[in-house]
C-alpha cells in the first residue's frame, strides 16, 4: 500500500501528464482546425504565443500564492480550471474564441507547477525527493508525447473536438479523486514555511541583477526556448504536410522524436554533471554550453529534403545530446545564487524562457509560407549554438566570481541565524 507521500507523487504524475497533454494537443489537430475555423498559420502562431506569454506573466504570481496558501488546493483548483478550459476549447466556433481559450489555459496552468513542485518537496526528504521529482518529470514528458498522439488519433477518426473533450473530462475525474491522494505536507504550516516578504523579494531582485552568470543563463534559456517551442508547436504539421502522415502518427512522431530521447540524455547528463563538477566547480556551465553546441549541427539536415528516416535519426541524436545539459540548469542557479533567492531566480528563468518561446511560435507561423518549416527548423540550429556560447561565456568569465560571492553571502546568512 502506498504511503501518503507516494500517493501525492502518483497523483501529481498523472496530473503532470494531463497538464502537458492539454497544452500540446492543439499542435496535433492543426489541419482539421484550419479547415473548420479558416485559421491561418500566422493565427496559429499567435495562439501559441498567447498561451506562452500569459503562462509566463502569471507564473511569478502563481509561485507567490503557492508560498502563502495550501499547495494541494492550488494544485486541484488549477487542474479543475485548465480541464474546464480544455473542454471549452472543444466547443469553440471562431478564431477569437480560440485565442481566449489559449489565454485562459496559460493562466490556469501557470498555477500548477510551482505548487506541485513545492508540494513534492514538502512531502519528500532528500532521501526520496529525487525519485519523486523524477516521476513528476516523467509525467510531464509522457504527457507531451501521449497528448499529441491521442489528440491526433481522435481528430482523425472522430473529429478534432473529441480530443479536447476527453482530455478535459479526464482532468475533472482526476480532480474529483484528489481527496484520496493529496494533502499538504508537514512543512505547509505558517510556522514551518517561511513567507516571501516584500523586503526579501526586493533583495532577491537586487542581488540577481548583479549576477552575470545568471544573466547568461537567462539569455541562453530564452534563445533555446525560441527554438524548442517552434519544434514542439510545428513538428506535427511538418510531418503531416511533408511525409503524408495521418494526424495521429504526425502528432506522436512530432513530440516523440523531439522529447522522447530526452530521457536518455537526462540520465547521462545527471551523472556527468556531478562527476565533472568534482574536477571543475564551474563544470556544469561547460556541460550545458557544449550540449547545445554539439547538438546543433544535426538540425541542419532539415534544410534539405531528406527522407523521414534521416530526419528521425538526426532528431534523436540532437535531442539526446542537448538533453545532457538539462540536469545542470537548476544546479547552476544553486551555485551562483544563495538559498534564500533561488525560488525567485527559477521563477524568473521560467518566465523568460516561456515568453521567448511564444515569440518563436508566432514568428514561425508568420514566416512559414515564405520560408517553409524545413528552413525554419534548420535555422534553429544557430539559436542552439548561440545558447551554448552564452553558457560558455559564463563558464569562462563569471562563474568563479559569482560562486564565491554566493558562498560568502550564504555563510553570512548562516552566521546571522546561528
Tell me whether residue 380 is in a domain: yes
pLDDT of residue 129: 47
Of the three residues 131, 146, 179, the one that is the final residue of a domain is 179
Of the three residues 179, 207, 223, the one that is the final residue of a domain is 179
Cβ neighbors of 395 (< 8 A, separation 6 or more) are: 282, 285, 286, 289
Spans in the chain with pLDDT lower than 70? 1, 64, 66-68, 118, 120-122, 124-135, 148, 185-201, 247-252, 254-255, 330-331, 334, 339-340, 342-344, 346, 413-418
* Whether residues 116 and 239 fall in one domain: no
* Whether residues 14 and 108 fall in one domain: yes
* Whether residues 282 and 390 fall in one domain: yes
Of the three residues 179, 208, 232, the one that is the final residue of a domain is 179
C-alpha cell of residue 358:
511564444
C-alpha dihedral sign at 117, 118, 121, 123: negative
pLDDT of residue 61: 77
C-alpha dihedral sign at 5, 11, 13, 16: negative
DSSP-derived letter for residue 16 is H
Name the packing angle between helices 283-295 and 262-279 (round to 10°).
140
DSSP-derived letter for residue 390 is H
DSSP assignment of 270-325: HHHHHHHHHH-TTHHHHHHHHHHHHHGGGGGGGGS---HHHHHHHHHHHHHHHHTT
* Whether residues 57 and 97 fall in one domain: yes
Q: Please say whether the beta carbons of 345 and 223 come within 8 A.
A: no
Write phi, then psi, for 183 (nearest 5 degrees): -160, 155
Cβ neighbors of 323 (< 8 A, separation 6 or more) are: 261, 262, 263, 264, 265, 266, 269, 291
Tell me whether residue 50 is in a domain: yes
- What is the spatial distance between Cα 369 and Cα 364, in angstroms, rounded to a whole number? 9
For the whole model, what pTM was predicted?
0.70
* Whether residues 24 and 76 fall in one domain: yes
Tell me whether residue 2 is in a domain: no
CATH at 313: 1.20.1250.20
Tell me whether residue 333 is in a domain: yes
Q: Name the CA dihedral angle for 150, 155, 157, 159, rounded to a multiple of 10 degrees.
A: 140
C-alpha cell of residue 379:
535555422
pLDDT of residue 414: 66
C-alpha cell of residue 68:
502563502
C-alpha cell of residue 295:
547538438
pLDDT of residue 131: 56
Cα dist. 280→274, 375, 381 in Å? 10, 38, 28
pLDDT of residue 248: 63
pLDDT of residue 191: 44
Tell me whether residue 13 is in a domain: yes
Tell me whether residue 276 is in a domain: yes
Q: Please say whether the beta carbons of 149 and 248 come within 8 A.
A: yes
* Whether residues 391 and 265 fall in one domain: yes
Cα dist. 17→4, 20, 22 in Å? 20, 6, 9
* Whether residues 158 and 225 fall in one domain: no
Given phi > 0 = left and psi -120 to 50 = alpha, else beta, which region is 159? left
pLDDT of residue 252: 65
**408-415: long-range contacts (C-beta < 8 A, 24 or more apart)?**
409/207, 409/338, 410/338, 410/339, 413/338, 413/339, 413/340
pLDDT for 55-105, tens place per residue? Answer: 888 877 777 676 667 778 888 999 999 999 999 988 888 888 889 999 999
- What is the spatial distance between Cα 148 and Cα 26, in angstroms, rounded to a whole number? 8
pLDDT of residue 41: 72
* Whether residues 166 and 207 fall in one domain: no
Tell me whether residue 37 is in a domain: yes
* Whether residues 300 and 385 fall in one domain: yes
* Whether residues 153 and 286 fall in one domain: no
C-alpha dihedral sign at 255, 261, 263, 269: negative
Tell me whether residue 184 is in a domain: no
* Whether residues 210 and 85 fall in one domain: no
Domain boundaries, position 218 = 198-418
User: What's the number of domains the chain is made of?
Assistant: 2
* Whether residues 277 and 158 fall in one domain: no
- What is the spatial distance between Cα 287 and Cα 395, in angstroms, rounded to a whole number? 10
pLDDT of residue 407: 85
Report which secondary-structure segment, H or E, holds 397. helix 373-397
Amino acid at each position: 500500500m502506498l504511503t501518503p507521500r507516494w500517493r501525492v507523487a502518483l497523483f501529481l504524475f498523472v496530473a503532470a501528464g494531463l497538464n502537458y497533454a492539454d497544452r500540446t494537443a492543439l499542435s496535433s489537430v492543426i489541419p482539421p482546425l484550419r479547415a473548420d475555423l479558416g485559421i491561418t498559420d500566422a493565427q496559429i502562431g499567435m495562439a501559441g504565443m498567447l498561451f506562452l506569454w500569459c503562462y509566463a506573466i502569471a507564473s511569478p504570481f502563481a509561485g507567490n500564492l503557492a508560498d502563502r496558501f495550501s499547495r494541494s488546493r492550488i494544485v486541484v483548483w488549477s487542474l479543475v480550471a485548465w480541464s474546464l478550459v480544455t473542454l471549452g476549447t472543444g466547443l469553440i466556433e471562431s478564431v477569437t474564441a480560440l485565442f481566449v481559450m489559449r489565454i485562459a489555459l496559460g493562466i490556469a496552468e501557470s498555477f500548477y507547477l510551482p505548487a506541485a513542485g513545492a508540494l513534492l518537496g514538502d512531502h519528500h526528504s532528500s532521501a526520496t525527493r529525487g525519485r519523486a521529482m523524477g516521476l513528476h518529470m516523467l509525467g510531464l514528458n509522457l504527457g507531451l508525447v501521449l497528448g499529441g498522439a491521442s489528440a491526433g488519433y481522435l481528430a482523425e477518426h472522430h473529429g478534432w473536438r473529441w480530443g479536447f473533450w476527453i482530455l478535459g473530462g479526464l482532468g475533472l475525474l482526476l480532480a474529483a479523486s484528489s481527496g484520496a491522494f493529496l494533502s499538504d505536507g508537514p512543512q505547509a504550516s505558517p510556522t514551518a514555511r517561511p513567507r516571501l516578504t516584500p523586503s526579501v523579494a526586493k533583495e532577491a531582485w537586487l542581488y540577481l541583477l548583479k549576477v552575470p552568470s545568471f544573466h547568461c543563463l537567462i539569455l541562453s534559456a530564452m534563445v533555446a526556448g525560441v527554438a524548442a517551442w517552434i519544434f514542439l508547436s510545428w513538428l506535427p504539421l511538418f510531418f503531416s504536410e511533408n511525409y503524408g502522415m495521418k494526424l495521429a502518427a504526425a502528432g506522436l512522431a512530432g513530440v516523440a522524436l523531439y522529447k522522447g530521447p530526452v530521457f536518455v540524455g537526462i540520465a547521462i547528463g545527471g551523472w556527468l554533471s556531478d562527476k565533472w563538477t568534482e574536477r571543475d566547480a564551474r563544470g556544469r556551465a561547460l556541460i550545458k554550453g557544449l550540449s547545445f553546441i554539439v547538438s546543433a549541427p544535426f538540425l541542419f539536415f532539415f534544410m534539405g529534403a531528406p527522407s523521414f528516416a534521416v530526419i528521425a535519426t538526426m532528431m534523436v541524436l540532437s535531442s539526446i545530446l542537448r538533453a545532457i545539459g538539462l540536469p545542470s540548469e537548476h544546479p547552476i542557479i544553486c551555485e551562483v545564487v544563495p538559498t534564500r533567492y533561488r525560488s525567485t531566480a527559477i521563477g524568473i528563468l521560467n518566465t523568460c524562457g516561456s515568453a521567448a518561446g511564444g515569440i518563436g511560435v508566432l514568428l514561425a507561423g508568420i514566416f512559414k509560407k515564405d520560408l517553409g518549416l524545413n528552413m525554419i527548423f534548420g535555422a534553429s540550429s544557430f539559436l542552439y549554438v548561440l545558447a551554448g556560447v552564452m553558457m560558455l561565456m559564463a563558464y569562462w568569465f563569471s562563474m568563479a566570481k559569482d560562486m564565491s560571492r554566493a558562498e560568502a553571502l550564504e555563510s553570512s546568512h548562516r552566521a546571522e541565524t546561528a
